[in-house]
Amino acid sequence: MIVDAHAHLDLGPNEVVSDMLDQGLVDITAISSLIGGAFPTLDELRRANDHVFEWMRRYPGRVLGFAYANPRLGEPGVTELERCLSGGMRGVKLWISTLADDPRVDPLMRVAERAGAVVLAHAWVKTTGNLPFESRPEHVRNLARRFPRVSFVLAHFGGEWETGAKAARDCDNLYVDTSGSLAEMDMVEYLVRQVGIERVLFGTDNMNLHYCLGKIAGARLSDADRERILWGNAAALFGL
């Protein structure tokens, strides 16, 4: 059993995601669409989220819909999120419209809290320089501390994985996914040591599935712990 806690539509070829589902390589995938890019308009958000609804219908029971959100849109953006969560989506995707701990995020988080939705938040720490509103792991941690009854997922180890793991360490409602393009030796074991096995989720972020599985296969963990990362923790988090 494999649950991919982090995948996207409209970020390169969608076949990357459909192939994983069609071939049974993953059982359940958490999907958001990134139509509109960094600063989607309300219309773009609706199209993005409608695309996710379409995939929820296409793969019944196998797609955990995540609503893309833009905190800059104010009340209309909140209403759009309410539409998505009342329609059966299970999470919220925050990307790079604002920093994760920007106060404009809070109304969206209150909706997520009421709905019991999970919040997947992008973060990176780039030596080459972050994008203008690209969160560091600490921004996501700040938000998670502000909303302790909401479960958050720090995307792709938080980017630079030592920084991400340390930022997430003392924040019990902050999970971390193992997606992304790095497969550096020790990164999974380090994350598990810092945050605890129960807060680590498997993900791809549309990278090669087997490359991402190789990180888990290569990590010095017990088989039981690998299973928790690959699906057990996600099953508990999403009540699967």
Partner 1 sequence: MIVDANAYCGRWPFRRLSFADASGLSALLPRSGASVALVTPIAVAFYRDCLSAVEEMLEDPGWETPLMLPIGAVNPCFPGWQQDLETMARDLGCLGIRLLPNYHGYQLCAEEALALVRTVHDLGLPVVITMRMQDERSHHWRMPVPAVPVDDVRFLLRELPRGRYVLSNVSWYEVQALRPELDMVEEAAWEMSYKPPASYLEQAVRMLGSERVLYGSGAPLQYPEAALLVVEQARISDDDKARILGGNARRVFGLGG
Which residues are at the interface with partner 1 (CB under 8 A)? 13, 15-16, 19, 124, 126-128, 159-160, 162, 181-186, 204, 206-215, 217-219
Pick 114 or 126: Cβ nearer partner 1: 126
Burial group, residue 182, by CB count within 10 angstroms (0-12, 13-18, 19+) = middle
Please state, in angstroms and as integers, the Cα–Cα distance from residue 173 to each residue in 75, 114, 118, 198, following that order: 26, 16, 10, 11
Pick 108 or 219: Cβ nearer partner 1: 219
Pick 1 or 235: Cβ nearer partner 1: 1
Which long-range contacts does 126-130 make (Cβ < 8 Å, 24+ apart)? 126/159, 126/160
Cβ neighbors of 200 (< 8 A, separation 6 or more) are 175, 176, 177, 178, 188, 191, 192, 228, 229, 233
DSSP 228: I
Pick 114 or 210: Cβ nearer partner 1: 210
CB atoms within 10 A of CB 223: 7
Min. distance of Cβ 77 from partner 1 in angstroms?
Answer: 29
Min. distance of Cβ 165 from partner 1 in angstroms?
Answer: 12
Min. distance of Cβ 157 from partner 1 in angstroms?
Answer: 11
Min. distance of Cβ 206 from partner 1 in angstroms?
Answer: 6
Extended strands (E) in 40-104: 63-69, 91-94
Min. distance of Cβ 183 from partner 1 in angstroms?
Answer: 4
Min. distance of Cβ 38 from partner 1 in angstroms?
Answer: 17
Pick 2 or 69: Cβ nearer partner 1: 2
Pick 17 or 105: Cβ nearer partner 1: 17
DSSP 196: -
The two structure tokens encoding residue 72: 């800059």
Strand partners, 64: 30
Query: Treating both helix axes as pointing N-terminal to C-terminal, what angle do 137-146 and 106-115 enclose, rounded to 10 degrees?
Result: 60
Pick 75 or 223: Cβ nearer partner 1: 223
Min. distance of Cβ 218 from partner 1 in angstroms?
Answer: 3
Strand partners, 200: 176
